Amino acid sequence: QNLYVGDQVLRVYARDNVQLELLRQLVATEHLQIDIWRSPTKLGLSMDVSVPFTSLQGAKVFLESNNIPYSIMIEDVQALLDQEQQDMKASRL
Amino acid sequence: QERRTNSFSYSTYHTLDEIYSWIDNLVSEYPKLVSKINIGHSSEGRPLYVLKFSTGDNKPAIWIDNGIHAREWITPATGIWTAKKIASSYGKDSLVTDIIEQLDIFLLIVTNPDGYSYTHSTNRMWRKTRSINVGSQCVGVDPNRNWNAGFGGPGSSSNPCAETYHGAYPHSEPEIKSVADFILDHGNVKALLTIHSYSQMLLFPYGYTNSLAPDHEELNELAKKAATALSSLYETRYTYGTTIATIYQADGTTTDWGYDNGIKYSYTFELRDTGKYGFILPASQIIPTAEETWLALVEIMKHVKDHPY
């Protein structure tokens, strides 16, 4: 089983084409292993990216240093997955 | 084991085995209307089952598929609810009855069974198929970049490790080839609706080019009507438009392939987004999502019925 302990999903907003290009660079950085959950490349729409715990600091520093606004959509992906598993078990019972 | 579709829990997520067992139950409960067709196998050998809703005579058809991206669990869940709704409405709801008497409906609940199974056993966030890529350690192809429509363009990736990897060649994925062959062999599919999540959008061709489709105005008007109908239930806001103008360039997609192969009413649904959970949409939202999506589906199906071509 893959574990996602501490991984977060960030909702990122690009304000202009420069920020959009920076975002593309961020997600293309392979060692960060960012998984795009939703990837509109159009201005005004948000982008959701799942970021492994080990890449969180790097990703957030990148966003903040480039003044790209973001919010934390999911605090801990694993906690949510555990909850989902529990809900499914309860439903079966 | 849930042996009757009435006692099945529509408000929870189910494994592939449970869904396939439910399909058999639905067929046995509505034998005069619903049948199961095996249209092929996935790369790991799992069957691809299509539900056919028909009163006979091989009529023009509407195709609906769910679950092409494995982690979008809300889409098979919505497909199950939709199948039950169609079956139980026939003979009771005059509009649904009219639609089914003029059109057959084909519903594929799990388009990517290998991926779906993998999300239940190993990696909840898996998106692609589970096919082996020769020369790469990375597994799987994005089945919504594998269609023969603008295949391999910049709105897809040539890297087998990427989530939008287009595959070695068009229809390299048996899941896609099975669907494409089935639709082409049928020869009379008039609408192709492919269900994704979670951007709250209704998209239509094109994704691989900025050119407008010859039927752009009609597609846009119908999308507006469908999105309005959907919003009327829970005020879920949908945007609509061409794929390339509304979200991004995407090459090798289902709807573009459908349109390029003569299926005028080709749409992609992006089901609801609570803004909080992404793919892990709480099970409590399954039925509301399915209910609102149904209103849009009916609007499109009615239009297809009233505008034969």
Crossing angle for the helix pair A53-65 and A17-28, to the nearest 10 degrees: 160
Amino acid B7: pLDDT:
77
- To the nearest whole Å, the CA of B277 is away from the closest chain A CA by 6
Q: Do B163 and A42 touch (CB under 8 A)?
A: no
- To the nearest whole Å, the CA of A68 is away from the closest chain B CA by 19
- Report chain A residues whose CB lies below 8 A from the CB of B144: none
Q: Do A37 and B9 touch (CB under 8 A)?
A: no
Amino acid A1: pLDDT:
72
Q: Best residue in B2, B279, B284, B287 to probe A by mutation, most A CBs within 10 Å? A: B279
- Report chain B residues whose CB lies below 8 A from the CB of A43: none
The strand order across the sheet containing A8-13 reads A35-38, A46-51, A8-13, A70-74
Amino acid B5: pLDDT:
74
Q: Do A2 and B123 touch (CB under 8 A)?
A: yes
DSSP for B226-272, please give it: HHHHHHHHH----EEEEHHHHT----S-HHHHHHHTT-SEEEEEEE-
B64 in helix, strand or coil?
Answer: strand
Distance of CA B242 to the CA centre of its chain: 17
Amino acid A45: pLDDT:
82
Q: Do B125 and A4 touch (CB under 8 A)?
A: yes
Q: Best residue in B15, B118, B145, B199 to probe A by mutation, most A CBs within 10 Å? A: B199
Provide residues of B within 8 Å CB-CB of chain A. Answer: 9, 11-13, 121-125, 163, 198-199, 246-249, 273, 275-280, 282-283
Nearest CA in chain B to A81: B280
How far is the C-alpha of A37 from the C-alpha of A77, rounded, in Å? Answer: 13
Amino acid B132: pLDDT:
97
Do B222 and B303 meet the contact criterion of CB atoms below 8 Å apart? Answer: yes
- Report chain B residues whose CB lies below 8 A from the CB of A17: none
Q: Which residues make beta-bridge pairs with B263?
A: none
Do B112 and B143 meet the contact criterion of CB atoms below 8 Å apart? Answer: yes
Nearest CA in chain A to B275: A73
How far is the C-alpha of B173 from the C-alpha of B242, rounded, in Å? Answer: 25
How many CB pairs lie under 8 A apart between chains A and B? 65
Q: Which residue has 């290998």 as its token pair?
A: B114
Overall size of chain B counted in residues: 309
Q: Do B124 and A84 touch (CB under 8 A)?
A: yes
pLDDT tens digits for A7-56? Answer: 999 999 998 989 988 998 898 888 899 999 998 767 778 899 999 999 99
β-strand pairing of B61-66 with A35-38:
unpaired
Q: Which residues of chain B have pLDDT under 70?
A: 1-3
Q: Do A37 and B282 touch (CB under 8 A)?
A: no
Amino acid B244: pLDDT:
94
Helices and strands: H and E segment counts in chain A: 3, 4
A18, exposed or middle or buried, with CB in 10 Å at 0-12, 13-18, 19+?
exposed
DSSP for B161-191, please give it: TSTTB--SSTT-SHHHHHHHHHHHHH--EEE
Amino acid B6: pLDDT:
77
pLDDT tens digits for A1-17? Answer: 778 999 999 999 998 98
Q: Do B198 and A73 touch (CB under 8 A)?
A: no
Amino acid B274: pLDDT:
84
Amino acid B3: pLDDT:
61
Catalytic residues of B, by residue number, are: 270
Peptide bond into B240 cis (omega under 30): no
What dihedral angle (degrees, nearest 10) is formed by the CA atoms of A2, A7, A65, B248?
Answer: 60
